Structure 1
Amino acid sequence: MKVPTKPWTLLYKVRQEVLPSAHQYVNEWREKANKIPNDELRKQALSSIKEKAFHCDGGAVYGLLAGKQCRNIIRFIVAYQTISDYLDNLCDRSTSLEERDFRLLHLSMYHALTPGEEPENYYQYRNDQDDGGYLASLVSTCQDVLKELPGFLNAQGIMHQLAGYYCDLQVFKHVEKNKRVKLLEDWFARHQHSVPTMTWYEFSACTGSTLGIFCLAAYASHDLKTEDMDVLKDGYFPWVQGLHIMLDYFIDQEEDREEDDLNFIFYYDSEDKMVQRIRFFKEKAEESIRSLPDREFHHLINKGLIAFYLADKKVQQNKKLKQTAKQFIRFGGLPTLFFYLNSWVFRQT
């Protein structure tokens, strides 16, 4: 399968090959979520699928890098992203604020990248327990796909590293409100030496994306060496992942204010500074992508990412956000405008 390098061929393949498979797998998980015995766990599982299934749609695009393994990689991506979104719901609307609870829940994301690891009782430290095997089934699905990929063992260490960052972030950002910023600042101080110059909240954003893991999984369907996987990681972390999550937080501003949730966009001194930094992240992401195989594809994904988020109804229905979004579309160039218009039309149907 040829990797698309033009906006129109990418869009065609996404609609004809990627989305039908992604939606099939999402529907299967929705059916399983509907059978969860515990009321609260069932509610959060179904809510996460209803509200965040578009994350699976976006991530599944990386299946196009996997050739004959396209459907298998999409199966992994949908399962892994479904874990991420489900746990985010459990932690955001949690009946617990314990670090050990969040840590054990997110151990499932590490186990999902570790074929042969037996699932644990990830709900041990919370009252709601019986999910009918839902989370363990998501974990084993990820394991089943990964263990068959010829390049997986060369990618696993880096996937674990990115998952470790992700899980730390989710733990620290969901504990008691008066502890969050200090935990995140201290965490950043421990890793500051290994990333380019940025703030603690920008580093946190860089760790909150699953795109690097999806990219590595797709290339693991080929027999690549460990050094090739290092190049892929450097292509996505920190800049592409940072851009991804900053856009995610940008569109969630109103919702996060209402719910009093942590949002990294709020820590900028002004809107001008926020726009300037997102532009900077976009430029650095384009630089880091140049070293990747199939770099034209990754450039399209990066530009499509901007469009995908800015076409969201949260932006379209908010005059102030929509005005700012126009600046992002302009610095994204013509491919971003093309994807934006198509994303907007697609969301209306």
Structure 2
Amino acid sequence: MAVYTEISDEQLEAFIASYDLGRVLSCKGIAEGVENSNFLLHVETGHFILTLYEKRVEEKDLPFFLGLMEHLSARGLTCPQPVRNRQGEALGHLCGRPAAIVTFLDGIWHRRPEVRHCAALGEALGKLHKAGVDFKGTRENTLTLAQWPKLFETVAARADDVQQGLKAFIEEELAFLQKSWPTDLPKGVIHADLFPDNVLFLGDALSGLIDFYFACTDFLVYDLAVCLNAWCFEPDGSFNITKGMALFNGYERLRKLQPAEVEALPVLARGAALRFGLTRLVDWLNRPDGAMVRPKDPLEYVQKLRFHRKVGSARELGLLR
């Protein structure tokens, strides 16, 4: 979450007038994240999240995202729900950008997730994958292997300014992944961005999943690889295998991984590390002027990628079977 676009009082009031939400009491920008402009909206009927979609989110994909949240909620997964205006539409336009209002979920996210939080995440991810089985919508993952070389081309000339030798390191990794990426694993709806700041807790209980704007149709186990990288490394860069075990055990209580998925996990973890390293590198080198957002350090994911290059099996990641 972030703020790239400022909204005037007049623009906001005109937009909200098409909803049955009452008067606007306050609207405050949310500074975290890097993708869209997000605001905590307080109206007479309660608190909501107002999002203006920018950067990598294409308007044609928004019905998929909004429909998915409604589908998952109907099957018992707690996630934000789109608020429809008086015309029954969940998507509108504000300040020249696509915009939507979704319900606000109570809870906090943990900057230092513990083992029990990783277990709860695993269960929630398994529940998401099962709930998405009968979702009719599909969306290609626009930030997977085929797109990574093109993404890197936009910043390759400046990569060594971030870390000496980074350009050659990424080129070598891209070549490996293009040769080793699996082609025939179970697919379905995945979140694809389930970082700690997208998972809310009330006490030790997981209270909801948010920010579905990278959701797509891809390998289910790739979602686990993304979570492994985001949740199971310590601040010093070391991998915590106990957290990895908790994540996998929680997930397999809902959905058992197939042998081919287990075998592919180390390669997918490398790919997931490269994917976020690349997008962070692009954001690091192309920060928009005046944006209320702090780019995330790409070298955090370069370090994780270096770890995964030494991993030989899923057992070394905590999948002990």
TM-score between the two structures when normalised by the length of structure 2: 0.31
Choose between structure 1 and 2 for higher RCO, CA contacts under 8 A separated by at least 6 residues: 2
TM-score between the two structures when normalised by the length of structure 1: 0.29
Decide which structure has greater helix share: 1
Decide which structure has greater strand share: 2
